[in-house]
A and B are shown apart, each in its own frame.
Chain A
Amino acid sequence: MNKEWEMVIGLEVHVELSTKSKIFCSCTTEFGGEPNTHCCPVCMGMPGTLPVLNKKVLESAISAGLALNCEIEREPRFDRKNYFYPDLPKAYQISQLYKPIAHDGYVEILVNDNVKKIRIHEMHMEEDAGKLIHSDFDNETYPDYNRCGVPLLEIVSEPDFRSAEEVSAYLDKIRALFTYLEISDCKMQEGSMRADVNLSVRRKGEKTLGTRTEMKNINSIKAIERAIENEADRQVDLLLSGERVVQETRHWNDDKRFSYAMRSKENAQDYRYFPEPDIPPMIVTDEMVGDIRNNLPEFMEAKKERFMKQYGLSEYDAGLLVLNKKQAEFFEVVVSEGVEAKAIANWLIGYFSRSLRENNLEFEDLDISPVELSKLITYVEEGKVNRKEGLEILDNIIKGCGPEDVEKYIKDNDLFVSTDNSELEAEIDNVLSNNQKVVDEYKSGKEKVIGFLVGQVMKNGKGKFNPSNVKTIMEKKLKGEV
């Protein structure tokens, strides 16, 4: 971006709450499902039905508000936002305008080693809409109301961002806070976290804000970064060439890396907000807020600091471990089983994440007994089981087909490294006598070939032998020392 200019960005982030049931009825919030199977007369807005607030949504919203350092509204209310669209069966969305559940908060983000405060204007609860499915087969559009009534939080920031990096740091931060609260899985790809970017540009040093555009529903952080860079450049180019920025909603096409205007905000809809008469104002008591505050989890930064202090981990290791709350908790359980912290940290950061990636899984998908895993790690780290075999077992565990009883499995498959050297020596002798040609090569000075011989022993031993032990004894034998 042109160095004389700066971008000014405000974000509206929508987060789907992972409550079991919807915000105003008892239908499941589960993602997917055949169209129109996760709905009832209430979430389909049939005439005569009434909404009844799911208390869990209010609790989640309060905990989110506290995590975002907000003031919690004590008499929050719902309002109706009226607009016609076939995916909105009541033709109004129950949302909050006049008395949102939380307001005037902030989060701190870390960009280029500087801490920056991003102010939160307000955060409110609302219901999601359904979606329209266009069928090319018969050229008709069909509504799917499964998503109608899935609870959402919308977090509206102040226009405090000055770069794409700040925006992605903020989104990471919100995801970290909300996944730590276990109120949302914040998956942008599945749409459980969505961001609308309001962006304007101005010459550095200017105080007034330029005309902004809005980009809606971009579905990955990388794409948001690209969209921001592109839009900021587009606006600067426009202004430099004497044109003006039009206030409008633009759609970002991430494949083609360009945006186009969707609708002009100048003839913006009038949503005719008014207080939702079907839901009386809620009462949020001090006790309620106090209880929720007392039960807030240890958040990412605090956990990272503690891991460094308590377990002597490097900032890098601790930082990676706490990225995922489940992983961090698992780490501590395994440590409590007596495994050395650094060892389990290496396993989680290294082997685990590789295996998860290869198998296209998430840590949350795993169903692993920390006790069994502790045994496995201990055996490998103490040399009782070879790393190769250990990691094969781990891979199977991660895939969900691992042994229930690690010790029994290792025993049954004879995978414990043999402590009986006579067995090893016999196997070495066997390999040496069957590979006279290679032995001769070794003796003629091509010492590298020992790798092949060790490999043969290891192969025949099926994990029973320790490779360095094999090498030591074999070297001695080849040199005639024993």
Chain B
Amino acid sequence: MIKELTAVEIGKKIKAKELSAIELVEELNNLRLQNDSIVNAYTNFDIEKIRENAAAVQKKIDCGELNSVLAGVPIGIKDNICTEGELTTCASKILKGFTPPFDATSVKKLKQAGMIVAGKLNMDEFAMGSTSETSCYGAVKNPWNTNKVPGGSSGGAAAAVAAGEAVCTLGSDTGGSIRQPASYCGVTGFKPTYGMVSRYGLIAYASSLDQIGPVARDVRDCAAIMDVISGIDGKDSTSRNYSSSTSFLDSLTGNVEGKVIGVPEECFGDGVDADVKQSIEEMIKEIEKIGAKVKTIHLPFIRYAVPTYYIIATAEASSNLSRFDGVKYGFRSDNASSIDDLIIHSRSEGFGQEVRKRILLGTFVLSSGYYDAYYNKALKMKQMIVDGFEKAYKECDVIICPTAPMTAPEIGSSLEDKMKMYLSDIFTVSANLAGLPGLSVPCGFDKNNMPIGAQILGAAGEDRSVLNMGYAYQKISDYHTRRPGGIR
């Protein structure tokens, strides 16, 4: 039953006593048991603990102590977001057995709102990848076709929602890691403005680009989760207050009359699948029918976005991941006779290939003699992208383009052609570089019946406009309600 309901609807039923949190987690667990041996969306699902939490939450609901919209609703958490006393490993061998002594601020807020943390979700190791194949727990499968990848790095979060194994989830997005898997799996994923959601407790990949956000069944669920997790946090100096008198959920009016949609010419050129192009163009036409205006715009800087992203992200990652040295927690190599050895062997054996590659790349671009040629230049480019978007938003309210140039590729194919995988981030990374909000909504299927996602981007702090545009579309479309058939 819960497979057909959204988080907001479930919340309502709980409030109306038509459903209990306790039943919910059992049903969820059954769905997980049915599917997850194939999908592999979860890294950890401690059913005993989840039952306990559900009982405690239900008791509070019964006593009237909890009445938030999502009270009693289970939520899965990506494995790079800290959960107190529960395994948090970034799907990496190097964090084997690591249980943080604290909750991420976003997790703390979810718990305060009465949501039930239900399981940790698989991902690319340390969020480095676009396919969720680099996990130490094995690849995640796309529920629409288990020969295909679910996208990444929040592949577990998107696949779990698509397969009905999760009602909603928290993911993280550094270069498209929420939006692209949401697109590949036919679900809704939102990356908020940088600073809108506290990063405290998110194990950093690239600090200046990382942002936590929801992956869910529709835009309303994303908005309801944003109402819980957003806000300034004293523990994160980069968090900001984008105050508004209306909640995210209440700001969803579905009214987009007079809003100008910018359609960047650069995002519909060669390299974008014909099916993808066609679906997005049809979606734009549908929105036009309900009163929005459409304008062709130019984002000439977008072709520099991928190299800029990979320099900045790997540079920060090389530093952020240095703390995993085998000294304090996680994996420690047995093959060491000195402290230098211990660090070298623990890292060489503990990190997977893709992570090692990015650490090396980041170390290189920061090294003396190359800093100006790479890192400093990338910082300048980042500023140009910020300025470029600012200019673009003078002409339009939101931008709509494909989330990814194609639909989900076959498992294994990206590992053979890494450059192709990196380039597939082209439409998502610039939102991270500019710190902008981005939403991916399902807008069609390709000839192989794989989901296509459309990306709606907005100016910094205009998260509500972005979500409202997505909501308006979901009111007149049903792609977001479609679910894959039996999972084989």
Contact = CB atoms under 8 A, between A and B. Distances in A.
Interface string B359-382: 000010011100100010000000
Contacts of A270: 367-368
Contacts of B384: none
Contacts of A52: 234-237
Contacts of B339: 86, 141
A47 B323 contact: yes
A89 interface: yes
A48 B330 CA distance: 14
A25 to B, nearest CB: 9
A387 interface: no
B237 A84 contact: no
A463 to B, nearest CB: 62
Contact of B95 (A47, A141, A280): A47
Given A41-B100, A46-B101, A274-B375, A90 B366 contact: no
A47 B98 contact: yes
A279 B375 contact: no
Interface string B296-313: 000000000000000000
A48 B238 contact: no
A84 B344 CA distance: 10
Interface string A69-103: 00000000000101010100111100000000000
A272 B318 CA distance: 10
B237 A48 contact: no
A44 interface: yes
Contacts of B325: 84, 86, 91
B319 A80 contact: yes
Nearest to B195: A280
A76 B100 CA distance: 32
B104 interface: yes
A49 B200 contact: yes
Given A277-B208, A279-B237, A84 B104 contact: no
Given A272-B368, A274-B315, A274-B371, A48 B201 contact: yes
Given A52-B235, A272-B363, A274-B366, A47 B203 contact: yes
A44 B100 CA distance: 12
B390 to A, nearest CB: 19
B233 to A, nearest CB: 9
A270 B102 CA distance: 34
Contacts of A280: 237-238
Interface in B177-222: 199-204, 206-208
B323 A50 contact: no
B328 interface: yes
B319 A82 contact: yes
A143 interface: yes
B82 interface: yes
B327 interface: yes
Interface in B458-480: none
B397 interface: no
Contacts of B90: 47
A51 B323 contact: no
B361 to A, nearest CB: 13
Nearest to A82: B319
A57 B343 CA distance: 32
A280 B383 CA distance: 15
Q: How large is the interface on B (under 10, 10 to 19, 20 to 34, 35 or more residues)?
A: 35 or more
B133 interface: no
Interface string A276-293: 011110000000000000
A48 B208 contact: no
B100 A50 contact: no
Given A50-B199, A89-B328, A274 B319 contact: yes
B238 A278 contact: yes
A45 interface: yes
A478 interface: no
Interface in A246-274: 270, 272-274
**Interface centre among A44, A52, A89, A278, by most B CB within 10 Å?**
A278
Contacts of A368: none
**Interface centre among A48, A50, A91, A92, by most B CB within 10 Å?**
A48
A209 interface: no
A89 B330 CA distance: 13
Contacts of A274: 315-316, 319, 366, 371, 375
Contacts of A272: 318-319, 363, 366-368, 371
A273 B238 CA distance: 20
A274 to B, nearest CB: 5
Contact of A89 (B88, B206, B323): B323
B234 A41 contact: no
A277 B317 CA distance: 11
A180 to B, nearest CB: 31
Interface string B89-114: 01000010010111010000000000
B337 interface: no
Interface in A32-60: 41, 44-53
Given A86-B339, A274-B371, A44 B238 contact: no
A48 to B, nearest CB: 4
**Interface centre among A47, A50, A80, A82, by most B CB within 10 Å?**
A47
B328 A44 contact: yes
Given A41-B101, A278-B238, 9 more contacts: A48-B82, A52-B234, A82-B366, A92-B322, A141-B339, A270-B367, A272-B371, A274-B316, A274-B366
21 contacts: A44-B328, A45-B323, A46-B100, A47-B324, A48-B82, A48-B102, A48-B104, A48-B203, A48-B204, A49-B200, A50-B237, A53-B237, A84-B325, A84-B340, A90-B322, A90-B323, A91-B325, A92-B319, A143-B327, A277-B316, A279-B238
Interface of A: 41, 44-53, 80, 82, 84, 86, 89-92, 141, 143, 270, 272-274, 277-280
The 4 closest A-B pairs by CB, nearest first: A91-B322, A277-B208, A277-B207, A272-B366
